[in-house]
């Protein structure tokens, strides 16, 4: 069977959608006919989506703030986690915190993180990430 031709045929028949939609029988669907309601995603697909999202967050972060590459692995992970959660625009709103991190003032940056509205929204996540920034 020619998989490439079948992929083309299915794309024509099903359409290609980047965002979820409700199909003609009321099923939440995405991509090329993926029935999310009944089929969902496999663990491999979830892992692939996560890896793509991590790579996108890290690329955006380091493009906007190249100095992040000079930080320890732990601090890079903390900032990438925040970027993943908030989006790049949201993370860049932490101008004071980011400035403190850039200056190597990690304790002050950690405290600044915990004073944010975001910290009240995400609770334990903010405490853990602020500790990662503080201790590196």
pLDDT value, residue 66? 98
Are residue 54 and residue 112 in the same domain, yes or no?
yes
- CATH number of the domain to which 78 belongs: 1.10.530.40
Are residue 57 and residue 110 in the same domain, yes or no?
yes
The band of 11, judged by pLDDT with boundaries at 50, 70 and 90, is very high
Are residue 47 and residue 110 in the same domain, yes or no?
yes
Are residue 65 and residue 119 in the same domain, yes or no?
yes
Are residue 58 and residue 92 in the same domain, yes or no?
yes
The band of 5, judged by pLDDT with boundaries at 50, 70 and 90, is very high
**3-class SS string, the chain:** CCHHHHHHHHHHHHCCEEEEEECCCCCEEEECCEECCCCCCCHHHHHHHHHHHHHHHHHHHHHHCHHHHHCCHHHHHHHHHHHHHHHHHHHHCCHHHHHHHHCCCHHHHHHHHHCCHHHHHHCHHHHHHHHHHHHC
pLDDT value, residue 77? 98
Are residue 51 and residue 106 in the same domain, yes or no?
yes
pLDDT value, residue 120? 98
Number of domains in the chain: 2
Give the pLDDT confidence of 66-114 residue by residue, as tens digits: 999 999 999 999 999 999 999 999 999 999 999 999 999 999 999 999 9
Are residue 59 and residue 15 in the same domain, yes or no?
no
pLDDT value, residue 132? 98
In terms of residue numbers, what domain contains 69?
43-135
Give the pLDDT confidence of 24-57 residue by residue, as tens digits: 999 999 999 999 999 999 999 999 999 999 999 9
Are residue 94 and residue 129 in the same domain, yes or no?
yes
């Amino acid at each position: 069977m020619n998989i490439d031709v079948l992929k083309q045929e299915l794309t024509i028949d099903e359409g290609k959608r980047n965002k979820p939609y409700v199909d003609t029988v009321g099923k939440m669907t995405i991509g090329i006919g993926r029935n999310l309601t009944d089929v969902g995603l496999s663990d491999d697909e979830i892992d692939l989506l996560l890896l793509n999202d991590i790579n996108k967050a890290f690329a955006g972060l380091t493009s906007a703030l190249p100095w992040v590459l000079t930080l320890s692995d732990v601090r890079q992970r903390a900032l990438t986690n925040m970027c993943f959660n908030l989006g790049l625009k949201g993370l860049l709103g932490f101008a004071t915190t980011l400035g403190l991190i850039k200056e190597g003032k990690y304790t002050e940056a950690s405290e600044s993180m915990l004073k944010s509205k975001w910290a009240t929204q995400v609770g334990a996540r903010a405490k853990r990430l602020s500790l990662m920034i503080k201790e590196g």
